[in-house]
A = this chain, B = another copy of it.
Amino acid sequence: MAEADKGAAVLSQDSRRRQTSWSTAEAIKGYIRDHGLTSGEPLPTETELCEVLGVSRSSVREAIRTLASLDIVQVRHGYGTYVGGLSLAPLVSGLVFRGSLNQDGTFGTLREVLQVRIALDLGVADELAAHYRGTTNSALRALVTQMRAHSRAGESFAAQDGEFHRQLLAPLDNTLVRQLVAAFWEVHTNVVPMLGIPRAADIDSTVEAHDEMLDALEAGDAEAYQQAVLRHYAPLRNAIDQALANG
């Protein structure tokens, strides 16, 4: 585990260099790397790791718990420990917690998340337009139809919205971008209910913007897609600005 340790260099090295729980976590990461394990494959049992690493079970457990919270390993009670999904779940829970700390921070977090979501959506315009040019996408259109129905009935369409964005970015050859977009969508939908903001009057335009985004992409027009993305986020952006101005 020579070079890859540098990722943990964000922490104070010297003070933690000797601590067994820290080095144990690094050792387990090294074990995964050296044995070429990938997501879902089993790790040795806790007692086996104790022997291999030469530390007590308590230390192994704390190290495993640390790695589990980062989704590097996954523990199944009574069965075993496995390599985790390496997802962005820790990012989500951290940001949601940050947003839940205080009412001011909630609005601020949402505003900041919104700007990031917009930047990411705009940043993949070219790649998406190139992929969708000349295609027809009935599954995505169906989701918009469902969204429209729910919106007119005054109901939430979060599920369909999430699925739309997930499917829309599915062809992207960039796992990180897809995970980031999904993560910030999740933070977004978790933070919004904390605010108790009234249902925006112009929420319907968000639904229609999904259709416009798809229109633009199927026409291969990246710029029109970007404009539709901005219209898509406009109602929420207005609601936040208004709330920040009033509060």
Binding site for B on A (CB under 8 A): 3-4, 6-11, 15, 19, 21, 29, 32-33, 36, 38, 58, 61-62, 65-72, 77, 86-102, 108-109, 111-113, 115-116, 118-120, 122-124, 174-177, 180, 186-187, 190, 193-194
Contacts and interface: CB of A to CB of B under 8 A. Distances in A.
B15 A77 contact: yes
Contact of A93 (B70, B89, B175): B70
Contacts of A101: 32-33, 38
A89 B66 CA distance: 13
A88 B90 CA distance: 9
15 contacts: A4-B190, A4-B194, A7-B92, A7-B95, A10-B89, A11-B89, A15-B77, A33-B100, A90-B94, A91-B91, A112-B174, A112-B175, A119-B119, A119-B120, A119-B124
A163 B3 CA distance: 22
A131 to B, nearest CB: 15
Nearest to A11: B89
Nearest to A124: B119
Nearest to A108: B175
Main SS at interface, chain A: helix
Contacts of A102: 36
A66 B29 CA distance: 16
B123 A118 contact: yes
A189 B81 CA distance: 31
A219 to B, nearest CB: 22
Given A33-B100, A102-B36, A91 B89 contact: no
